[in-house]
Amino acid sequence: MKAILLTQTGNSEKLNYTEVSTPSPSSSQVLIKVAAAPVNFIDTIIREGNMPPGMMPELPFISGVEGSGTIVDSNGTNLRNGQKVAFLGPIGAATYAEYALVDADKLVVLDEATDLIAAGSMPVTYFTAYHMIHNVARVEPNKFALVYAASGGVGTALLQLLKLAGVKTIALERRDSKVEQALKMGADYAFNISAFNTSAASKDWLTEVKKITNNQGVNYIFNPVAGDTISQDLEALATLGHIVIFGFLAGVGETNMQAEVVKHFSKSPTISYSEIYATYFNNYDLVASSLEKVYALLAEQKIQPLYTTIPLAEAAKAHDLLENGKVLGKLVLTP
């Protein structure tokens, strides 16, 4: 079969489109003909060799942690050949390929009418969003939520799922085109925060947020950026508000978080962290139930994932687009 094989770390040119052996399922595994293999930031981090100590997989390595496809070898499980499925897998799920092995108990069986590309674009982003909304922050209707990187994969999922939960959303982006996309995906308000970082700016986005919320602040903040953003988040937060950090795209930063919390202690803020694999490996039942709910919403046409497809052979191009911030929604490789 054809696959993207990483034999040494480095830039996107290290992603080799080549012939490898089709894997054979072991007990409790099934073989999937891959229809969609989404690209995630973790794939670029692995390619660069920048995973945390003890988490870097051995090379050679086939990237990809999620996807969709059709069962071609049910391998004696209670599943059957020809069924459409989607899945969120571990690091090493190896979905950048024409075929992939998946544990039978980690599959979501889809309706026959389901679009496999749309379904395949969803596991990481929609589980992440649904989990943060309903299991971590436990949002309530008629509240306000601030969403960073709102035109990205998780961002667009957050906007749609928050709207379904009755939460008003304020989207933050860094390009006018992405602000427009966030509004199309259901954001109630959206701002290009780069426009406030100029000498000509007479106001900042915090001022706008306070105006929108009648000076009360937002009740929820979903932040994949972190770095030094915690200071402005606490400023924007309402009393008894909840910040959920689910990434560190801007690094660790230099902010003394405890000192910042002390400044806003009267708000009694909650700060949570959400890392999907902590839940995946310790409470998969919660992952499964969350995925079932988002796929039910897809079947009911209540959500519409935003994605762009790229041929598997062009995985290097996909990584470059993702790393350069030129992606709206999700990038999906198609074998």
Claim to verify: residue 198 and residue 242 sit in the same structural domain: yes
Claim to verify: residue 146 and residue 258 sit in the same structural domain: yes
**242-262 CB burial, b ≥16 within 10 A, e <16:** bbbbbbeeeeeeebeeeebee
Claim to verify: residue 330 and residue 265 sit in the same structural domain: no
Q: What percent of the chain has a predicted confidence (pLDDT) above 70?
A: 98
Claim to verify: residue 133 and residue 113 sit in the same structural domain: no
Q: Write out the two tokens for 260.
A: 């910042």
200 part of a folded domain:
yes
Q: Chain-centre distance of CA 168, in angstroms?
A: 20
Claim to verify: residue 198 and residue 265 sit in the same structural domain: yes
Between CA 100 and CA 104 the distance in angstroms is 12
Q: What percent of the chain has a predicted confidence (pLDDT) above 90?
A: 84
pLDDT of 256: 86
Contact between residue 211 and residue 188 where contact means Cβ atoms under 8 Å apart: no
Query: How confident is the model over 91-150, as pLDDT tens digits?
Result: 999 999 999 999 999 999 999 999 999 999 999 999 999 999 999 999 999 999 999 999
Claim to verify: residue 14 and residue 35 sit in the same structural domain: yes
Residue 249 has pLDDT above 80, yes or no: no
Q: How many domains does the chain have?
A: 2
- Domain hosting 56: range is 2-122+305-334
Claim to verify: residue 328 and residue 236 sit in the same structural domain: no
Which residues on adjacent β-strands are paired with residue 146? 170, 221
283 part of a folded domain:
no
Which 8-state DSSP code applies to residue 220? E
296 part of a folded domain:
no
Q: Residue 11: give its domain's CATH number.
A: 3.90.180.10
Claim to verify: residue 82 and residue 110 sit in the same structural domain: yes
Q: Which amino acid is at 51?
A: M
288 part of a folded domain:
no
Average pLDDT, the chain: 94
If pLDDT is split at 50, 70 and 90, which confidence band does 203 have?
A: low
Claim to verify: residue 191 and residue 255 sit in the same structural domain: yes
Q: Write out the two tokens for 49.
A: 């060799």
290 part of a folded domain:
no
Claim to verify: residue 246 and residue 131 sit in the same structural domain: yes
152 part of a folded domain:
yes
pTM: 0.93
Claim to verify: residue 169 and residue 272 sit in the same structural domain: yes
pLDDT of 195: 74
293 part of a folded domain:
no
Claim to verify: residue 251 and residue 313 sit in the same structural domain: no
Q: Residue 141: give its domain's CATH number.
A: 3.40.50.720
Please, which residues have CB within 8 angstroms of residue 45's CB and are 6 or more apart in sequence? 51
Between CA 127 and CA 125 the distance in angstroms is 6
Q: Chain-centre distance of CA 30, in angstroms?
A: 25
112 part of a folded domain:
yes
Mean pLDDT, rounded, for 6-28: 96
